[in-house]
Amino acid sequence: MKDAIKTIILTIAILVVCGIVFAIVTNLEQGIELLSRTKLPITDPDVKLLYDRVEDNTDLRKASLNVEDLNNQEILELVIDNLTKEDYEKKTVEAEKIVCQVTKKISFNTEDKNCKIRIISNSVFNDYIKENYNLDKELDFVDFDYHGYNCQNSGKKYYCMYSSYKDYVYGYSLFDSAYKSKDSIIINEYYLQVDVSDGDRCYTYFDEEYCADYKENDKKDISDKVIKKDGVLYEHVFSLKDGKYYLEKSYVKNEG
């Protein structure tokens, strides 16, 4: 009986000691990491470049985001939202009996006299995620309809009937801090998102005249003080790979 009690006491003592050692090691590692951090100003070339990628960006705003976990649809939509004029060709196709026949296999229904078509190579999608996120993913080029783009794929490229689109969800960003740690640059920013098509949300930040005619109005500024007070604090982690920094993950540090 006494031996059993001694064994129990010894086991508990060992567990307590292990717990203390683990806590010490963990705190030591965290302390070393903090000491190894180098604070960076927003004027730092790398910080400026990386901050520009996330500032006001509404595409990838989640409570917790790991870039590796982006699904196929999210990637297609991300690229569409970030297209430049150099990424596509333009073509106008006249409608015949409400149908625009773009190729033998691709057509679009329309109520207009013609269709404005944007032609986007599949490689544009692959190149974008590789260049900006260092992702090598085999994409499924499915047909989709998103933000004014009604897209069908021929196998090698997308043919998208395009109509003007305006997003009424506005993002507001305020730089907080940045630092370098080992092979990473970490940027903290306050972020506030306002859907001006939501009356209550719009009136919280803008006057009645603006909200009553929000479809015709441009994005309006919100003060840094309000962004910091009402927004959430994001941390964006960019990792160094092959001489370039890529967004690895983003997450909300606190709820506004």
pLDDT digits (tens, 9 = 90+) for 18-31: 556 454 544 444 44
At residue 255, the pLDDT reads 57
Tokens of 227: 């962004």
At residue 182, the pLDDT reads 84
C-alpha–C-alpha distance, residues 13 and 26, integer Å: 20
Could you tell me if 55 and 173 are in contact, meaning their C-beta atoms sit under 8 angstroms apart? yes
What pTM value is reported for the model?
Answer: 0.77
Could you tell me if 93 and 115 are in contact, meaning their C-beta atoms sit under 8 angstroms apart? yes
190 CB-near residues (< 8 Å, 6+ apart) = 173, 174, 176, 227, 228, 231, 232, 233, 234, 256
Minimal CA–CA distance to 195: which of 234, 224, 166? 166
User: For the chain, what is the mean pLDDT?
Assistant: 88
Residue 189 CB neighbours (<10 A): 22
HSE value, Cβ hemisphere, 13 Å, CA-based, for 244:
9
At residue 29, the pLDDT reads 46
Minimal CA–CA distance to 229: which of 202, 199, 197, 191? 191
CATH class of 37-58+168-254: alpha beta
Which helix (H) or strand (E) covers residue 235, if one does? strand 232-241
The one-digit pLDDT tens for each residue of the chain (256 residues) are 556 565 666 667 576 655 564 545 444 444 444 446 799 999 999 999 999 988 867 777 888 889 999 999 999 999 999 999 999 999 999 999 999 999 999 999 999 999 999 999 999 999 999 998 999 999 999 999 999 999 999 999 999 999 999 999 999 999 999 999 889 999 999 999 999 999 999 999 999 999 999 999 999 999 999 999 999 999 999 999 988 999 999 999 875 4
Please state the φ and ψ torsions of residue 97, each to the nearest 5 degrees.
55, 55
Tokens of 100: 């625009």
CA distances 97 to 68, 105, 108, 159, Å, are 45, 17, 11, 20
Residue 178 CB neighbours (<10 A): 23
List residues bridging with 251 in a β-sheet.
Answer: 64, 235
Question: Percent of the chain at pLDDT above 70?
Answer: 85
CA distances 101 to 122, 143, 203, Å, are 21, 16, 45
Domain edges within the chain: 1-28, 37-58+168-254, 69-162
Residue with tokens 């941390």: 235
> Using alpha carbons only, what angle is made at residue 78 by residues 76 and 81, rounded to the nearest 5 degrees?
110
27-61 confidence digits (pLDDT tens): 444 444 444 679 999 999 999 999 998 886 777 78
